[in-house]
Amino acid sequence: MNLLREVIDQYINRSGFFLEAFIEHIELSAMAIILVTLIGVPIGIIMSRYPKIAPPILSFVNFLWTIPVIAFFGIMISVLGLSTLNALFALLIYGLLPIVRNTYVGIMEVDKSIIEAGKGMGSTKWQLLFQIELPLALPVIIAGFRNMAVMTISFAAIASFIGVGGLGKAIWRGISLNNLSMTIAGSILIAALAIAVDLSLGYIEKRVLLRVQGRTKGGIVNE
């Protein structure tokens, strides 16, 4: 109970510091999430147009994903130095896998008979992609986005270790000052942010899924 008191005291006594770190954290994560989406979704779409190049690309983003985060930041510091760019780059590398994979798989898993009907009716490639394939793949793409967003928020804590700011700062400072309550206070905020984003994206994912399946009301539907 003492620890809980101390954590609460942290929030009260250093509210300015935590607020600033919290905002920095959101800024960094949001930038990374937008960047990953802008790069990852087109890669996934291109892979679905040329399925032959998909396996090597998937293996590559998978490989990037398996590099230990700390090791990667360490290497990147020597290349890009201590900068926001460095942190963004690292978050991009880790975020790519879920979004690329889900965009690709989502499009590839659209029912072949629906694609054939769309094609046979005279859709151009772009019409097929934007009117049929992407809308139907959307729930899977959002699931990947959700995965990536939560991961980015938690990884952004480690980004603070290379001096970019964010809630990782509190964790880092807590560790070096041997101040447990500060570390916990920072961690709780990151976890809360991640959970809030996860829940709201989960809600959107569900809504989109129902929409795409054409279930307007929650009532009885024919299978």
Partner 1 sequence: MIEISFKNIKKIYPGEKIALDDLNLEIKKGEFLTVIGPSGCGKTTLLKMINGLVMPTQGELLIHGKNIKDIDIIALRRKIGYVIQQIGLFPHLNIEKNISYVLKIMGVEEDKRRKRAEELLSLVGLEKETLEMYPRELSGGQQQRIGVIRALAADPPIILMDEPFGAIDEITRKTLQDELLKLQERLKKTIVFITHDIEEAMKLGDRIALINKGKLEQIASSKEMFLILELLL
Question: What are the structure tokens assigned to 110, written together?
Answer: 């659209």
| Residue of the chain from 118, 154, 163, 191 that contacts partner 1 (CB under 8 A) | 118
Report 139-168 residues binding partner 1 (CB under 8 A): none
Size of the site for partner 1 (CB under 8 A): 26
d(CA 30, CA 39): 14
Q: Shortest gap between Cβ of 37 and partner 1 (angstroms)? A: 21
Q: Shortest gap between Cβ of 205 and partner 1 (angstroms)? A: 15
Report 204-223 residues binding partner 1 (CB under 8 A): 211-216, 221-223
Q: Does 14 bind partner 1 (CB under 8 A)?
A: no
Contact code string over 53-92 relative to partner 1, x by CB under 8 A: ----------------------------------------
Q: Does 109 bind partner 1 (CB under 8 A)?
A: no
The answer to whether the beta carbons of residues 189 and 22 sit under 8 Å apart is: yes
Q: Shortest gap between Cβ of 131 and partner 1 (angstroms)? A: 7
The answer to whether the beta carbons of residues 84 and 140 sit under 8 Å apart is: no
Helical ranges in the chain per DSSP H: 2-13, 15-49, 54-66, 69-80, 84-108, 112-120, 125-127, 134-159, 168-176, 180-212
Reference 30, options 140, 186, 145; nearest CA is: 145
d(CA 215, CA 219): 8
| Residue of the chain from 13, 131, 176, 200 that contacts partner 1 (CB under 8 A) | 131
- For helices 69-80 and 84-108, what crossing angle results, to 10°? 130
Task: Name the residue nearer to partner 1 (CB basis): 127 or 154.
Answer: 127
**Which residues of this chain interact with partner 1, rule CB under 8 A?**
111, 113-114, 116-124, 127, 131-132, 135-136, 211-216, 221-223
